[in-house]
Amino acid sequence: MNKFVYMFDEGNSEKKELLGGKGANLAEMTRIGLPVPYGFTISTEACNSYYQEGKSISTEIELQVLDALHNLEEKTGKKLGDPINPLLVSVRSGAVFSMPGMMDTVLNLGMNDETVEGMARLTTNPRFAYDSYRRFIQMFSNVVLNIDSFYFEQFLEEVREEKGYSSDPEMTAENWQEVIKGYKEIVKKHTKSIFPENPKDQLFLSIKAVFDSWNNQRAIVYRRLHKIPDHLGTAVNIQSMVFGNMGNDSGTGVAFTRNPSTGESKLYGEYLINAQGEDVVAGIRTPNPIATLRNEMPEVYQQFVETCHLLEKHYQDMQDIEFTVERGKLFILQTRTGKRTAQAAIRIAVELVEEQIIGKKEAILRVDPDQLNQLLHRRIDDSYERKPLTKGLPASPGAATGKVVFDADEAEALAKDGERIILVRPETTPDDIHGIVAAQATITSRGGMTSHAAVVARGMGKACICGCESLDIDLKLKQFKVGDIIVNQGDIVTIDGSTGEIMFGEVPMIEPQLSDEFQLLLAWADGERKLGVRANADNPEDAKKALEFGAGGIGLCRTEHMFMDAARIPIVQEMILAETYEEREAALNKLLPMQQEDFEGIFEAMQGNPVTIRLLDPPLHEFLPDKEELLVEVTKLQMTESNFKELKDKEQLLRKVRQLHEFNPMLGHRGCRLGMIHPEIYVMQAKAIFYAIANVKEKGIDVKPEIMIPLVGHVNELKEMRQLVINAGLQVMEETGQEDDYLIGTMIEVPRAALTADQIAGEADFFSFGTNDLTQTTFGYSRDDAEGKFLQAYIQNKVLPENPFASLDQEGVGKLIETGIKLGRQTKPGLKMGVCGEHGGEKSSIQFCHDAGLDYVSCSPYRVPLARLAAAQAAIKSEQKQDVNKFQAQM
């Protein structure tokens, strides 16, 4: 026989998977002797059996429930349905991971026309008894019979009005009896049958309803958002009721043992006298702050404070506790680890260490790296009272203010003039990239959290709101409407990418700062982690930010970003369009000092920390105008025949654009293939690096340059490019009379490079896995197309567990990385290796990098603190795993 039902004294907090979080905690609190109303838990396995049996409760489970009920009746001395001494119970969901408010609850179960009389007599409080009965009918009808609460509320409102009352406490016992009658009529009207009076029927119908609520829309969406597996199922807790609405010596409340938004170590919560739990949450009456309970019920308050300390010590974490006082006696109904903001999570973890409740390693594990985003972007001042126009999906965190613009080109043009822009589009495509780059933030009315705009914005660390369907965008009129409010192009809005809120006008902001507690936690993390953390940065400002956030160097400086600068693009185009070697040299000579200046700025900012500079990577056509647009211009010029020179220039440009056109640019003439065919470009870049080294060193600043060749697939490519860099270096060193130490390495970002890493290592001083391209080339996906077209459907339909561009595909791409590491170190033991794709800033990928034995990860500056913490967590977790293995081996 399978055991599906557990009395509270049969479980403990270890049995979360079986009893759900709530059930396990109720059992644990019972075990440690806290005043918990007795009851039992129907396990998550019973929920899964319910679904396997085609949504039916098996006889085996039914019998076990009846048995447990019998036990509960014995223990309480009350009986379900007994007209003299009735037992009333609550029926609550309780999943393994807390899903607050997502599933259903029924309170006061066991009430009917007979037991209500018993309750009235027993409590000598008929008003309370009838009030509880009507609450039960309302809740049961809503949760189990699916009748909208609105009908009951409307009816109650009518009765109150008719009596001339303004609130519920004015209602008398007789008034509630009248309401009960009305409620039953409502049930009859909606279900065509009478309200179920048999308490056992009520019980099993409620259990079924709680199981069903595992699959309601809210719960499904919540699970998807929090990556909770669908197969876990929910447990159901049946607990004898205690009543906070028995008079002024009763009450109910909710409290956190510490402040969940700031982390301050002070009881934080509220309560209501003479009320039931739902009243606190429903907001019908304004609850009192918990501190005033000290005056109203000093003894209860004292006992509650002690219980809070005890629970916090027992669970070694901040708790979220529900309590009820029934006629002066305190009962604890629930305790769980309290949800908290990132700021609070950090402060609580650090203070728990100071209070010697947990150790430093545990504190490091307590803060979810994903949550840190909240703290690492500019954000709206907490003291500002928000009045959002509307809300979309919080696709990329951070706050931004700017003028609304509806077109990527216009966004770019205005940004060049120094305007701050918020790009608003129905959705974005790769063609809008320049607009996203130029804008402070992007809003789309369509698309989800993995839509193009969302992914691109997150990659750039820019705020973004997606899928804001209430925006009615009119691209022709250049405006959007939200209800009757019209926002025109040029109007200023502020967005909060962490909440999805859009506000009209400018709003006060604060810069991200690492609080003292955060710095301390990160210092502890640095002591634990084995992985180095570097940043991807291509200008001195980002480099400084990276250093401020604790990066140990630059893992990727993408030199093409320096080519995109408005002042340089004409020279870059000159270089691309050059028909002769001399023309190209002339353009490159103009570019060289510009690049050199960039490198000097970055070297100086990095103060002797290593800087990995990657030579040019993207296909050249990315620096030229769009083919279609050019065609239109040429056609127009041909028709007017007014400006012959301009026509010829544009025709030449068009010829070149056509010539450079590629069918699959992602797999085309890019990366080291550019250096192989146009070595003069790489020579110029290498020289700029060496000149920069010389100048910076002359100022007495140390430089650790690492020159990186992108997209190598065959060792011969690296061999040739390595020689090219060495020659350029020799030439410059001869000129400057300096001797420089530097490394030449390669990106590993195509499968062939990983598979032949033993050969490639022979020519490389380091490897950097470019997991963005390695993901593209391993899956054979072009990222822009995949994310725009099918990837979202793949993730929704569970073809793929996650977006592999966000979270490393460990089974596939990971295998190539492991192969690359093994083969590379076979040739050169100790060869330095890192990751510089976006995955370097994502916690599960960081865990993989640690386990695989990489030396460092590199991510955007704003993700550096996250990566430091995640790297420490990875180290601690592997250590813990090894300890368990050792222990098991000894057994």
Residue 265 interacts with, from ligand PEP, Mg ion, none (CB under 5-8 Å by kind): none
Q: Provide the residue count of the chain.
A: 891
What is the rounded distance in angstroms from the CA atom of residue 732 to the CA atom of residue 599? Answer: 15
Of 104 and 749, the one with the shorter C-beta distance to ligand PEP is: 749
What is the rounded distance in angstroms from the CA atom of residue 697 to the CA atom of residue 705? Answer: 12
What is the rounded distance in angstroms from the CA atom of residue 797 to the CA atom of residue 780? Answer: 20
The residue at minimum Cβ distance from Mg ion is 773
What is the rounded distance in angstroms from the CA atom of residue 867 to the CA atom of residue 535? Answer: 10
Of 126 and 770, the one with the shorter C-beta distance to ligand PEP is: 770
Of 773 and 842, the one with the shorter C-beta distance to Mg ion is: 773
What is the rounded distance in angstroms from the CA atom of residue 762 to the CA atom of residue 727? Answer: 18
Residue 556 interacts with, from ligand PEP, Mg ion, none (CB under 5-8 Å by kind): ligand PEP
Hunting for tokens 């949450």 — which residue is that? 281
Both tokens of residue 792? 């979202």
Q: How far is the CB of 275 from ligand PEP (least distance, A)?
A: 57
What's the angle, vertex CA 743, arms to CA 740 and CA 747, rounded to 5? 150
Of 322 and 617, the one with the shorter C-beta distance to ligand PEP is: 617
Of 770 and 820, the one with the shorter C-beta distance to Mg ion is: 770
Q: Which amino acid is at 280?
A: V
What is the rounded distance in angstroms from the CA atom of residue 823 to the CA atom of residue 831? Answer: 10
CB 766 within 8 A of CB 706: yes
Q: How far is the CB of 696 from ligand PEP (least distance, A)?
A: 25
Of 317 and 749, the one with the shorter C-beta distance to ligand PEP is: 749
| 452 given a catalytic annotation | yes
What is the rounded distance in angstroms from the CA atom of residue 389 to the CA atom of residue 366? Answer: 35
Q: How far is the CB of 551 from ligand PEP (least distance, A)?
A: 16
CB 4 within 8 A of CB 42: yes
What is the rounded distance in angstroms from the CA atom of residue 838 to the CA atom of residue 371? Answer: 17
8-state DSSP, 831:
-
- Within 737-836, residue ranges assigned H as helices are 751-755, 757-761, 771-779, 783-789, 791-796, 813-827
Hunting for tokens 């120094």 — which residue is that? 418
List contacts with ligand PEP (CB under 6 A).
Answer: 556, 558, 617, 749, 770-773, 836-837
Residue 326 interacts with, from ligand PEP, Mg ion, none (CB under 5-8 Å by kind): none
Q: How far is the CB of 617 from ligand PEP (least distance, A)?
A: 6
| 231 given a catalytic annotation | no
CB 271 within 8 A of CB 287: yes
Residue 773 binds Mg ion (CB under 5 A): yes
Hunting for tokens 């405006």 — which residue is that? 479
Both tokens of residue 216? 């309601």
Q: How far is the CB of 620 from ligand PEP (least distance, A)?
A: 15
Q: Which stretch binds Mg ion (CB under 5 A): 176-184, 262-270, 373-381, 744-752?
A: 744-752
What is the rounded distance in angstroms from the CA atom of residue 66 to the CA atom of residue 61? Answer: 9
Q: 47, 557, 836, 849: which one is catalytic?
A: 836
Q: Which of 845, 715, 838 is nearest to 767 (CA)?
A: 715
Of 694 and 817, the one with the shorter C-beta distance to Mg ion is: 817
Cα-to-chain-centroid distance, residue 380: 18
Neighbouring C-alpha atoms within 13 Å toward the C-beta of 110: 26
Q: Which amino acid is at 708?
A: M
Per-residue CA distances from 472 to 396, 477, 504, 529 (Å): 21, 11, 16, 48
Of 528 and 749, the one with the shorter C-beta distance to Mg ion is: 749
What is the rounded distance in angstroms from the CA atom of residue 246 to the CA atom of residue 225? Answer: 40
Q: Which of 40, 64, 61, 65 is nearest to 51 (CA)?
A: 61
Q: 105: part of which helix (H) or strand (E)?
A: strand 105-109
Strands 492-496 and 485-488: unpaired
Both tokens of residue 670? 């890019």
What is the rounded distance in angstroms from the CA atom of residue 487 to the CA atom of residue 491? Answer: 6
Q: 396: part of which helix (H) or strand (E)?
A: strand 393-396
Residue 836 interacts with, from Mg ion, ligand PEP, none (CB under 5-8 Å by kind): ligand PEP
Q: Report CA Rg, the chain.
A: 33
Q: How far is the CB of 678 from ligand PEP (least distance, A)?
A: 19
Q: Which stretch binds Mg ion (CB under 5 A): 19-27, 33-41, 375-383, 749-757?
A: 749-757
- Of these, 338, 500, 770, 804, which contacts Mg ion (CB under 5 A)? 770
What is the rounded distance in angstroms from the CA atom of residue 700 to the CA atom of residue 673? Answer: 36
Q: 47, 308, 377, 452: which one is catalytic?
A: 452
8-state DSSP, 542:
H
Q: How far is the CB of 840 from ligand PEP (least distance, A)?
A: 8
Q: How far is the CB of 770 from Mg ion (least distance, A)?
A: 4
What is the rounded distance in angstroms from the CA atom of residue 19 to the CA atom of residue 233? Answer: 10
Q: Which stretch binds Mg ion (CB under 5 A): 12-20, 629-637, 687-695, 768-776?
A: 768-776
Q: How far is the CB of 675 from Mg ion (least distance, A)?
A: 14
Of 37 and 820, the one with the shorter C-beta distance to ligand PEP is: 820
Of 550 and 555, the one with the shorter C-beta distance to Mg ion is: 555
Residue 497 binds Mg ion (CB under 5 A): no
Q: How far is the CB of 617 from Mg ion (least distance, A)?
A: 6
Of 24 and 454, the one with the shorter C-beta distance to ligand PEP is: 454
Burial 846-864 (b: 16+ CB within 10 A, else e): bbbbbbbebbbbbbbbbbb
Of 746 and 759, the one with the shorter C-beta distance to Mg ion is: 746
Q: Which stretch binds Mg ion (CB under 5 A): 345-353, 377-385, 637-645, 764-772?
A: 764-772
Of 279 and 717, the one with the shorter C-beta distance to ligand PEP is: 717
Strands 856-859 and 532-536: parallel
CB 4 within 8 A of CB 61: yes
CB 846 within 8 A of CB 840: yes
Residue 838 binds Mg ion (CB under 5 A): no
Give the interface with Mg ion as residue ranges (CB under 5 A).
Answer: 749, 770, 773
Task: Give the catalytic positions in this structure.
Answer: 452, 836
